[in-house]
Amino acid sequence: MLKIMHRLISNTGKYKGRIRASYITAFLKGLMLKAPLVLCFLCISWFMQGQLDKKRCIYLGLAVLASVILQAVFEHASNVLQSAAGYMVFADMRLRLGDHLRKLPMGYFTEGNMGKISSVLATDMVFIEENCMGVLSELVTFIISQGIMTVMMFVMDIRLGLLSLLIVAAFIIVGNLMLKTSAGHSIIKQEASESLTEEVLDFAEGIGIIKSYNMLGDKSKRLTDEFENSCKKSIDFEVAYGPWARALYLTFGIGTSAVLAMCAYLFNAGKISDIYMVGMALFLFDMFVSIKSYYGQMARLTVTNASLDRIEEVFAAEELKDEGRKTFSDAGSDAAEIVYDNVSFAYTDKDVLKNVSFEVKQGEMAALVGPSGGGKSTIASLLARFWDVKSGRILIRGEDIRNVSIGNLMDQISMVFQRVYLFQDTVYNNIAIGRPDATREEVEEAAKKARCYDFIMQLPEGFNTVIGEGGASLSGGEKQRISIARCILKDSPIVILDEATASVDADNERAIQEAISELCKDKTLLVIAHRLKTIKDADQILVVSDGEIIERGDHASLINKNGTYANMVSLQNE
């Protein structure tokens, strides 16, 4: 228990001092919690000795009132120091997690970790924040209170004190066995929660396909199975925890009875006075309440321990190194704009690219073509350091991109992909992401060049219209043109283009082609091509298959080779 408490505190960062300060108020609260009992014992003692007078009654009454008021004051101070700090701790932790996720390679988000991330944010952090940060000082209060009650037993009689220590030891043994059982089931319970979150996300993201193919029954069954599994694991947790909870209550009952029996024996033997016997009647049923309550919090803390494991697992994911301090030379230098030098790459143990080498000069267009899954998108993604190469190197104007900060690298590159994501924000802000310091005139000019100004002005609030998350309130072509507008505004010398017109209607295709023409003026282009008619004028065409460049050249030379590219063109023409 103490290890879990220490682990929880070690994650509180700059708020650690506040939470430790709350232990002082918890200690004082623990004293005040038992003060009325002690005062009652003193009152009865004076009464039975004939020493209770009006003056002492007033003093006792004032002392009880003061202890109750101070107890409330110390509890409030503890909440201010600890519970409020708990919310601030996890506010900072969520920001740190966001910054950490931003620095992870894209491969982390394609390995089934989205459910883990969502579960950490929506379940683990919330559970600790709402259920555990507020109980740390309570646990300290329980420990202090139990200590006071045990000391009182030694004051009454050393044999009562020793018996109390023996019963506390029994509580610790039962509690630790309960902790061991709960810990294993807590991990299983939280893993089931993660699996459920993953399935819910999958169901929500694919609901259109699910409905269109009338698969609601199959997919709903999978989702229902996950709910049932999560429910079963939670019940299994309670079933495993239940017997130990009953054992804890049984220890409480036996311990209380044992102390009462010992008191009766000592009283009959004349070893303790009638005053102490009456005092025991006061203390008896509060004797082991604190340690019982202490271990009663165990279920929360074991779940907290499992939650901390999962939180730390996400934070332990290795970030892309961003230690580069060099800068790129200015565009227009003699060095090639882009160089891939024997680049190899693998997802975990699976080789994706093998010894890929090519150069693109400034202002040239290089097109990547080939079968799906051949490695075209991976080649383009490595240029933007979504991942790092396994071996070889990628240069921009003679400088290895790993020797330059990621921020500086991204200043050189604009990307337009088929799948566009827009934020739930105004149209203006979605475009201005390209260059946040741009003037309104520059944003509007970029929109005009991207052929989206007219439809933006027809929206209810024009540029100030808030669009749905992911651009849900816009058509695919409209979203695409807004994404091109922000690339135009960014005005980077290198453009990565995943053919943006592959899945839009004819009217939008014309507008998008015009927008892309504006974007690509005087730029170096790396194009992932799906429809070969759009790359006939490329300076070089690279045919990628099974992670290797199997052909290269311009359109005419590749047609004359009568190889893979020529066959692809023939098939598309047919």
**Mind listing the domains of the chain with CATH numbers?**
2-6+17-316 (1.20.1560.10), 338-573 (3.40.50.300)
- Helices vs. strands in the chain: H and E counts, helices first: 22, 10
> What 3-state class would DSSP assign to 331?
coil
**Full-model pTM:** 0.65
Amino acid at 215: M
Tokens of residue 212, six digits: 């269109």
Instruction: Identify the CA nearest to 189 among candidates 270, 353, 302, 91.
Output: 302
CB hemisphere CA count around 545 (13 angstroms): 10
Helix or strand holding residue 279 (H, E): helix 274-283
The reported pLDDT for the residue numbered 372 is: 82
Amino acid at 145: S
Mean pLDDT, residues 334-344: 85
Non-local CB neighbours of 371 within 8 Å, separated by 6+ positions: 545
Cα gap 561→382, rounded to integer Å: 29
The reported pLDDT for the residue numbered 505 is: 57
Cα gap 97→387, rounded to integer Å: 19
Give the pLDDT band (50/70/90) at residue 182.
confident
> What 3-state class would DSSP assign to 493?
coil
Non-local CB neighbours of 47 within 8 Å, separated by 6+ positions: none
Amino acid at 233: K
Tokens of residue 377, six digits: 């998108």
The reported pLDDT for the residue numbered 428 is: 92
Q: What percent of the chain has pLDDT over 70?
A: 90
The reported pLDDT for the residue numbered 340 is: 92
> What 3-state class would DSSP assign to 420?
coil
Amino acid at 320: L
* pLDDT one-digit tens code per residue, 2-44: 777 777 777 777 888 887 788 788 778 877 887 888 888 788 8
The reported pLDDT for the residue numbered 156 is: 77
Tokens of residue 362, six digits: 């400034």
The reported pLDDT for the residue numbered 43 is: 86
Tokens of residue 171, six digits: 């509580």
> What 3-state class would DSSP assign to 266?
helix
Amino acid at 407: G
Tokens of residue 284, six digits: 């008896």
* pLDDT one-digit tens code per residue, 111-149: 567 777 888 888 888 888 877 766 776 777 777 778 877
Cα gap 427→425, rounded to integer Å: 7
> What 3-state class would DSSP assign to 175?
helix
* pLDDT one-digit tens code per residue, 539-567: 899 998 888 999 898 888 888 888 888 88
* pLDDT one-digit tens code per residue, 459-499: 888 999 988 766 667 887 888 888 888 888 888 888 888 76
The CA angle 408-396-383, to the nearest 5 degrees, is: 75
Burial 208-232 (b: 16+ CB within 10 A, else e): eebeeeeeeeebeeebeebeeebee
Q: Which of 141-150, 188-197, 263-272, 386-395 comes out lowest in average pLDDT?
A: 188-197
Tokens of residue 435, six digits: 């260059």
**Between the CA of residue 376 and those of 328, 383, 393, 484, 541, what are the distances in Å?**
25, 12, 17, 21, 12
Non-local CB neighbours of 35 within 8 Å, separated by 6+ positions: 63, 64, 67, 71
| pLDDT at residue 359 greater than cutoff 70 | yes
Rounded to 10 degrees, what is the CA torsion of 187, 189, 193, 199?
100
Amino acid at 103: K
Non-local CB neighbours of 374 within 8 Å, separated by 6+ positions: 544, 545, 546, 547
